[in-house]
A and B are shown apart, each in its own frame.
Chain A
Amino acid sequence: MVRILLRFSENIVEQPITAEIILALKVPINIIAAHVNSKGGEVLAEVPDAALEKVVTAYREKGATVSLPKLIEVDSEKCFSCGACVALCPVEAITLADDNSIVFNKEKCIGSTCGACVEACPARAIKSVKQGNSELANDLNPKK
């Protein structure tokens, strides 16, 4: 599965775009997190690797912006294991190990749609980073 970040502008936010795409392409799309109001929306979704290109093209055709979500990285050099980030994480992506060091579960983290831990870290050890320069990232650049 690949995570993609979808942005819907004010004009299209009321349309059932995701439902239409699921029905048309018959691929499962899993919504991980969503912030939507009348002014627009941001949705983090998970799609099967094989269907990625199809799904991205479909969203673009319907006017949505598609990009790779920024994920969180913890700099283990800087982190001094205080734990300030732990209780703030809404999805329990950060937990404490028995030796009181923190364990970050990348799979669970909903990334830039949340970001709650970033500003809470007194050591500034948590950064919101763009996902690597993989082919995937290039593929997702809007083709003009």
Chain B
Amino acid sequence: MKKLVESSGVEVAFKEVDVVTTGTFGAMCSSGAIINIGHSDPPIKIEKAWINDVPICHPGAAVDLYIGATATSETQSFEYGGGHVIEDLVSGKEVELRATAYGTDCYPRTRIKTNLTKDDLNQFYLLNFRNCYQRYACAVNSRDETIYTYMGKLLPRFRNATFSGAGELNPLMNDPDYETIGVGTRIFLGGAQGYVIGEGTQHDPQNLNGTLMVRGNAKKMSPEFLHGATFTRYGTTMYVGIGIPIPILNEGLAKKTAIRDEEIFTNIIDYGVPRRDRPKLGKISYKELKSGAITIDGKKVRVSSLSSLKTAKKIAGTLKSWIEEGMFYLTTPVERLPLDSVFKLMRQTEETSFIANVVHAAVTCKENEPIQAIAERIVKQSVNHIVVIDDAGKLSGIVTSWDITRAMAEGRKALADVVTRRVITAKIDEPLETASKRMAQHNISALPVINSERKVLGIVTSEDVAKILGR
């Protein structure tokens, strides 16, 4: 379609093409499966359940369970989770169910352990409440350390970038006004046929961040299009394959489905900043993202995809052949999806603490001051940390009372001998929580607070943190 519109124009394309198939295959955390495991004898009303040591939700009656993709194993932690359980079941593997209950007159049993395959389940439906994101951000990291996120491993100081999404192949990008995709639309889901059952959570079509809620019979699905996955130090998730046919009902749809990667832009976002509003560093097209390298601040940064374009293409191709062979029939939606819903921010009734709430003036010294003078200052001000600054007030090191004690014991005179140069710092708008984590990680008890020019604004200590966070 895209090529046809380019070469022959919208009118010709509209006449010639009946359906455009689309596809996407990526990590979709808000996914899971509902299962019904049947009644045991004596029966049990499950209170807590695990499959292969992954905790499973029990949102309903006695033996209905929901396997959430991001639930992680209690024994293997991030290496195995709900997504892997679903993949194992889909592949026909046997899984181990353990459950406990409080026992009632009608459900007397209090514990059970049994092995199950998908054939033993009454129902096994994929039920994903947010899938198929229309587009997603491109992630980078400004920090001095590698961070591990749901956007993968991000190297320090913008040394790599990651992105997600199929761009021009994404279903929602090809029908951005939801003319054909609505409640009841039959789709390709995980290798089988499924349905759109509504808009996904956080659906935000006006900002081109639409999402879908979908359902499909997992017993018929294939592990090729449904894959448990692990993001190191982040957690588990599931890769889900979705394909949607878009009937070309009018010239407008012919034009919309001709969208190209160079017309689809997304934001480059700094995941190094641990806040909800992470800084946007610019816009970038999917064409550039797919090229393997982007430019940030004039520097070339290598970028890789987290979702699979190869599988996305395969899904669109499979769907096409299903339609051609009469194995898949298109449906008309029974209800349109909302076009005006907005993604609201959380109402927070309890205050969150940031560094700005606890920062206080740092006791400082200059590089050339004698140890004796610094020791006196430590005693007089009764502090444990002295921040070393240069004439411009910029951070050049830190010394603790312990460093000074040792220096005096060893008869050293120069500050340079005892100062720590690689100082771990905090930023003024950073949440207290992350600063506290950093202190614990490096086993230190204070962080100088600096601005982007490395000017010292103050200091926070573990005591300040303990007062607020109570730890």
B310 to A122, Cβ gap below 8 A? no
Given the interface pairs A81-B308, A81-B311, A82-B307, the reply to whether A88 lies near B292 with Cβ below 8 Å is no
Residues of A within 8 A of B313 (CB): 99-100
A96 interface neighbour in B161, B229, B292, B306, Cβ under 8 Å = B292
Q: Please judge, given known A-B contacts A82-B306, A86-B304, A87-B303, whether A124 and B160 are in contact too, CB under 8 Å.
A: no
Please pick, from B152, B155, B227, the residue contacting A84 in the complex, using a CB distance under 8 A. Answer: B152
Q: Are A80 and B25 CB-contacts (below 8 A) given A122-B230, A123-B229?
A: yes
Contacts of B237 in A (CB 8 A): 122
Contact B308 A85 (CB under 8 A): no
B contact patch SS: strand
Report yes or no: B308 in contact with A80, Cβ–Cβ below 8 A.
Answer: yes
Q: Determine if A83 is an interface residue (Cβ-Cβ < 8 Å).
A: yes
Q: Give chain A interface residues in 16-62, CB to chain B under 8 Å.
A: none
Q: Is B231 an interface residue (CB 8 A)?
A: yes
Q: Is the CB of B152 within 8 A of A101?
A: no
Contact B227 A123 (CB under 8 A): yes
Q: Which of B283-314 contact A (CB under 8 A)?
A: 292, 302-311, 313
Establish whether residues B229 and A122, one from each chain, have CB atoms under 8 Å apart when the complex forms: yes
Contact A84 B239 (CB under 8 A): no
> Most chain-B Cβ atoms within 10 A of its Cβ — which of A81, A83, A119, A123?
A83
Q: How many whole Å from A51's CB to the nearest CB in chain B?
A: 36
Would A84 and B160 count as touching, CB distance under 8 A? no
B272 CB → nearest A CB, Å = 17
Residue interface bits A75-116, CB-to-B below 8 A is 1, else 0: 000001111111110000000100111000000000000001
Question: How distant is B232 from chain A, measured CB to nearest CB, in Å?
Answer: 4
B152 neighbours in A (Cβ, 8 Å): 84, 120, 122
Decide: B239 and A85 in contact? CB cutoff 8 A: no
Contact A85–B311 (Cβ < 8 Å): no
B215 located at the interface, meaning its Cβ lies under 8 Å from any Cβ of chain A in the complex = no
Asked whether A122 and B304 contact (CB < 8 A) given A86-B292, A88-B153, the answer is no
Among A85, A88, A116, A122, chain B packs the most CB atoms within 10 A around the CB of: A122
Residues from chain B with a CB closer than 8 A to the CB of A86 are: 292, 302, 304
Give Cα A82 to B233, complex, Å.
Answer: 19
Would you call B162 an interface residue if the criterion is a C-beta within 8 Å of the partner chain's C-beta atoms?
A: yes
Q: Is A81 within 8 A of B302, CB to CB?
A: no
Once A80-B227, A87-B162, A87-B292 are accepted as A-B contacts, the answer to whether A99 and B304 lie under 8 Å apart by CB is no
Interface string of A111-144 (1 = CB under 8 A from B): 0000010011011100000000000000000000
CA distance A101 to B311 in the complex (A): 9
Residues of A within 8 A of B26 (CB): 82
Any A CB within 8 A of the CB of B27: yes
Note all chain B residues with C-beta closer than 8 A to A96: 292
A57 CB → nearest B CB, Å: 39
Asked whether, in the complex, the Cβ of B302 is within 8 Å of the Cβ of A87, the reply is yes
Q: How far is the CB of B209 from chain A (nearest CB, A)?
A: 21
Provide 22 A-B residue pairs closer than 8 Å at the C-beta atoms, listed in order of the A residue.
A80-B311, A82-B308, A83-B304, A83-B309, A84-B153, A84-B304, A84-B306, A85-B304, A87-B303, A88-B155, A88-B160, A100-B308, A116-B153, A119-B232, A120-B152, A120-B232, A122-B27, A122-B152, A122-B237, A123-B227, A124-B79, A124-B229
What residues make up the interface of B, taking CB atoms closer than 8 Å to A? 25-27, 79, 152-153, 155, 160-162, 227, 229-232, 237, 239, 292, 302-311, 313
A residues in contact (CB < 8 Å) with B: 80-88, 96, 99-101, 116, 119-120, 122-124
Q: 5 tightest A-B contacts by CB?
A: A122-B229, A87-B304, A87-B302, A100-B310, A81-B310
